[in-house]
Amino acid sequence: MASVTFDEVTKVYPNGYVGIRDLSLDIADGELLVLVGPSGCGKSTALRMAAGLEEITGGELRIGDRVVNHLPPKDRDIAMVFQNYALYPHMSVRQNIGFALKLARVPKDELNQRVDEAARLLQLEPWLDSKPGQLSGGQRQRVAMGRAIVRDPAVFLMDEPLSNLDAKLRVQMRTEISNLQQSLATTTIYVTHDQVEAMTMGHRVAVLKDGRLQQVAPPEVLYAEPDNTFVAAFTGSPSMNLVEGTLQRGPDGGHSIELGAQRLELPPELVASRPGLAAYAGKPVIVGIRAEALDDAGVERLDAGPVGTVTGIVERREALGAEILVHVEIEARPVVTDDVRDLAAKSDESVVAKLEQQAAVGRATLVARFDPHSRVRGGEQVTLSVRTDQLQFFDVDSGLAVRGSG
């Protein structure tokens, strides 16, 4: 058991590419920290530095209170689970799991006992004498887990361990790994590019982008109060709606947001809790609206709170059973920062084209999570009720959340 500390850790690859820049991160003993970010952001690099597979070119990495920068992997008391399992194909499951113990010259009785224990925990007992080639993907993943837990290391490092499994198995293994980590209480760094995995598994989630840490916080905080537009656009499914509006200060001292010709009154408590907001009066600001802060104004809201309204045209509705996702086009400038462009481009190039086209004519699409009773259809005009107390604000230039005075 140990904590892991990244202290301004930097990785510059031999070709000059900066994989990780000044990463500072404290992972508490027994915590499961998820490292998440788009492909190529440096998640694996960070993890491999912790494992000792990649040289650390700057800063200090501590496991417990030992500086491990120059220790080889085997002296760091860590175990790693690889994305593609990396099982030893010529060894049986038993030998795979027991390999590390065997190299550590653990007595045979104890070795067998610990392998059996790990196999029991992972329900691998029937396959102990099989070769990896005879196992299914989920079983192979379990063997890889077994190889890690049998050593009882201070830290688990997992690099996208579930990304090769099908969707259903992934959900199941997600729970299994969470439970396992919970019961073993071993400090764990878990890398994934899947924000759903990150939000459901992590005690805390660290979001990386281009080798830089964007925010590290518990999932609820990350979701509710993202530090910048990148985190806002990356987390949640659907991700946070980001539109540009203008903050207006009324003669009575109350504030409102102008979205095109429409206006949303802001509750005074919201403005009071964000002292920095006052400085934006009369200026454009990015407004972040979660899908669940929007609903059909024609249906009674179940949640209570200050509400404003915005009208728009329904583009599309996706019925998901318990809820409906409705895409509504309103009059407002969409936010097309590099972050948004990058993230959209990852899923679909046409999304970016559409965004830019919309930006040119000053119309933005909001994704709203409607009550299933709503009867809106594509092409219709709809009035959205907006929970104004749940709005988030970001600076137009820096993309940083507007919070304190500043």
Partner 1 sequence: MTATTSTTPSSPSGNAAQPSAPRRTRRGLYGVLSAVPTGVLWFLVALWSLPTMGMLVSSFREERAVKRTGWWTVVTDPQLTLDNYRAVFSTQGTDAPDLWQHFWNSVAITVPATIIPIAFAAFAAYAFAWMEFPGRRTLFVVVVGLLVVPLQLSLVPLLQLYTGGAHLTVFGETLTLFPDLDLNGTPTAVWLTHIAFGLPLAIFLLHNYFAALPKDLIEAARIDGADHLTIFWRMVLPLSVPALAAFAIFQFLWVWNDYLVAVTFVGGARDNAPLTVRLASLSGGRGQDWHLLTAAAFVSIALPLAVFFSLQRYFVRGLLAGSVKG
Ligand X SMILES: Nc1ncnc2c1ncn2[C@@H]1O[C@H](COP(=O)(O)OP(=O)(O)OP(=O)(O)O)[C@@H](O)[C@H]1O
Query: What are the residues binding Mg ion (CB under 5 A)?
Result: 44
- Work out what residue 204 binds among Mg ion, ligand X, partner 1, none; the CB cut-off runs from 5 to 8 Å by kind: none
Q: How many other β-carbons are positioned within 10 Å of the β-carbon of residue 245?
A: 23
Question: Are 330 and 366 contacting, i.e. CB atoms less than 8 angstroms apart?
Answer: yes
Cα 19 from Cα 40, distance rounded (Å):
9
- Look at residues 11, 104, 126 and name the one whose alpha carbon lies nearest to residue 59: 11
Q: What mask of x and - would describe binding to ligand X in positions 154 to 193, judged by CB under 6 A?
A: ---------------------------------------x
**Which residue, 52 or 308, is less far from ligand X as judged by CB?**
52
Given the complex with ligand X, which of 35 and 382 has the nearer CB atom? Answer: 35
Q: Looking at 14, 72, 253, 379, which residue binds partner 1 (CB under 8 A)?
A: 72
- Look-up of token digits 């097309």: 336
Q: Hey, which residues does 384 pair with through a beta bridge? A: 296, 310
Given Mg ion, ligand X, partner 1, none, residue 274, with its beta carbon under 5 to 8 Å by kind, binds none
86: nearest Cα among 73, 102, 99: 99
Residue 85 contacts partner 1 per CB under 8 A: yes
Contacts made by residues 22-30, CB under 8 angstroms, sequence distance 24+: 22/58, 22/59, 22/212, 23/59, 23/211, 23/212, 23/213, 24/213, 25/206, 25/213, 25/216, 27/3, 27/187, 27/189, 28/3, 28/187, 29/1, 29/2, 29/3, 29/187, 30/1, 30/185, 30/186, 30/187
CB of 346 to Mg ion, least distance (A): 14
Does residue number 164 form part of the binding site for partner 1 (CB under 8 A)? Answer: yes
Count of residues of this chain found to bind partner 1 when the rule CB under 8 A is applied = 33
Choose the one of partner 1, ligand X, Mg ion, none that binds residue 17, judging by a C-beta under 5 to 8 angstroms depending on kind.
ligand X
Q: Where are the alpha helices (DSSP H) in 90-159?
A: 93-103, 108-121, 137-149
Task: Indicate whether 40 belongs to the interface with ligand X (CB under 6 A).
Answer: yes
Residues 70, 90, 283, 377: which binds partner 1 (CB under 8 A)? 90
Q: Which of 104, 272, 279, 360: binder of partner 1 (CB under 8 A)?
A: 104
Rounded to the nearest angstrom, the gap between the alpha carbon of residue 7 and the centroid of all alpha carbons in its chain is 22
Minimum Å gap between C-beta 38 and ligand X is 7
Query: How many residues comprise the chain?
Result: 406
Query: What is the smallest separation between the CB atom of 173 and Mg ion, expressed in angstroms?
Result: 18
Using the contact rule CB under 6 A, the part of the chain among 43-51, 181-189, 326-334, 341-349 near ligand X is: 43-51
Closer to ligand X at the Cβ: 48 or 203?
Answer: 48
70 touches partner 1 (CB under 8 A): no
Regarding 107 and contact with partner 1 (CB under 8 A), the answer is no
**Contact between 133 and partner 1 (CB under 8 A)?**
yes
State phi, psi for 179 to the nearest 5 degrees: -65, -45
State the sign of the Cα–Cα–Cα–Cα dihedral 151, 156, 160, 162.
Answer: positive
Q: How many CA atoms lie within 13 A of 29 on its CB side?
A: 5
From the list partner 1, ligand X, Mg ion, none, partner contacted by residue 19 (C-beta under 5 to 8 A by kind): ligand X
Closest approach, Cβ 336 to ligand X, in A, equals 23
Could you give the residue ranges of the DSSP H alpha helices within 187-238? 195-201, 219-224, 229-234
Residues that bind ligand X (CB under 6 A): 13, 15, 17, 19, 37, 39-45, 193
Q: Which residues bind partner 1 (CB under 8 A)?
A: 51-53, 72-74, 78-80, 82-90, 99-100, 103-104, 131-135, 137, 140, 147, 151, 163-164
